[in-house]
Chains A and B, each alone.
Chain A
Amino acid sequence: MAGLDLLERRLVFVTGKGGVGKTTVAAGLALLASQRGKRTLVCEVDDKGDLADFYEAGPVRYDAREVQPGLYAMAMDTERSLDEYLRIFLRIPVMGRIGPVARMFDFVATAAPGVKEILTVGKLCYEVRQRRYDLVVVDASATGHVVGQLAAPQAINTLVQVGLIRSQTDWMLDILSDRHRTGVVIVATPEEMPVNETIELAGRVRDETTVDLAAIIVNRVLPELFGRGEEEVFEHLRSAPRAGVDAAVGGDIAPLLEAARLAVTLRRTRAAHLERLRDGIDPDLPLLYVPYLFARTHGLRSTRVVADALAAELGY
């Protein structure tokens, strides 16, 4: 299974439709890597500040901070990324000291296609190039934006003919296009729209970027409630005279039976979407499953459960 090398890569982008648990999976994957002895950086790209909750270790900022042993977390900030870039490559002091210039840059970065994206991808590639970490896991933008990010170096290459950025997209492309080093993971849930978007995004990653699609992770998979023959027993139980059943179990069993029926129906509806997903993607692409978390709270404990589920799926 090709998914086995997922954590052997150096840079993994985790994306997916809003609401599918993209950050949950990115957080779990990074935690798993660190548990397996890899010095790992996890980076949140959208400034939502959600990542912090998954490790319960205080706010996550641009400067990476160790949140678990061997696991470092940061939040992308394109202004800071630009500062860093100018300092390292141009030896220009911090932009903050020359206010109007910084504002102009912010303006160009917002306006010019690809500049903000290149500052994001550039920083991530730089961390890979510097070899400070064994693995960089990116909680990337949602499906609508991630292609723009991944394709930014090529876009810059065609738009910008000369200049420093142009000369620097080459080494970024080297890293991004190397499937041994870089991969994209799409997170989906077994529901209609997430499956549609996943199939569409898989095609776009293949057609519009040079980055390898490494795996699809299906989140919130409901367990199969009944084994072989058991569903008939369950139906028998449902149609039996209720008073007799209630007396035998010592209480009103109706809510319990209703909940079981709900679980069976949900599982069945979702199975159909899962099948559609399997039919819609390259059959060689690894599909990993993360179970629905019937948990009271979120936070580090849930992140650990996700990491364990991923470990099992990856064959660890």
Chain B
Amino acid sequence: MSEPLGVAVLGCAHRPHAWSYARALASSGTARLVAVHDPEPGLGHSVADDFAVPYITDAQALVSSPDVHAVVVCSPTARHRAHVELAAAHGCHVLCEKPVATTVEDAAAMIAATDEAGTQLHVAFPSRFLPQVRRVKEALDAGTLGRVIGVRAGNRGRPPLPPQYPAWITTPAESGGGALIDHSVHLTDLLRHLTGQEVVRVAAETGSLLWDAGVEDCALLSLELTGATVASLDPSWSVPANNPWDYDFFLRLVGTAGSVDLDDVSESVRMVSATAGAGLRLVGFAEDPDATMVEAFVDSVLRGAPVDPCASGVDGLRSLEVALAGYRSAADGGCFVEPASAE
């Protein structure tokens, strides 16, 4: 029986995600949550204390610790690069929150840094780990559904506004933009993962229509892929107040030999309670894909190579390129544009 893999959390700016990954590490049989860092002590403690691990103020000291072999990076998106480069320089493997970065240059530098260090760079796309997505992937790989003709997919959420959410998420210099970059990368990644195709053309409409968030809260992206598959993605922060759920993910796919309609909202029980806010709530009971993803990351590090279906830094870069192409399209009258490749 080998020692559990020591993993640290580097940055808690994506607090709900950092917390969820920390929980997965704390309850893992193969990993050990060593410590948590964030420049903001209150935020760092809010995660570290919940799992009874130290809060560390100095990121460099943390990745230098002989106990830390891997890190989970959840800093603001524009600061991912600094944390990933720091981790790589100290030989740490990285699971990086999505979107991987706000620029193609940063993402490419993160890939180069981990490549040079001989460490793994994973990007957190938990949707790949949903059991129903894995079933679709198996069916597609087996040819059961034929060639994918078209996909309509969505990942909608509540607006990530203060005070519940930190201001950086709606600050383009830190986050890269609004709903489009925040949620479309999940959907683009899933599309690439399921079809094995790359996106060749993107058209997008965006709008700041709902929340006065200072960034776009509504977006629709149309994609054309290398294998003639087309897709329309809805990454909007369009979940209204009092909605019975907070986030959704859905995928409706049609292939030449069959179709799939799936969502993660119907896997829930209905609740109405005098103690739980207004009206109906749908309380999900899905398996936690975050935990499955973190386990797969740990497993990849222990095995010395990424295991299926983990997403790589390149996967993160590709979905970022599509999001950035979406912004260029939206700024240019919704014209179709090609995603710029880093190569």
A binds B: no
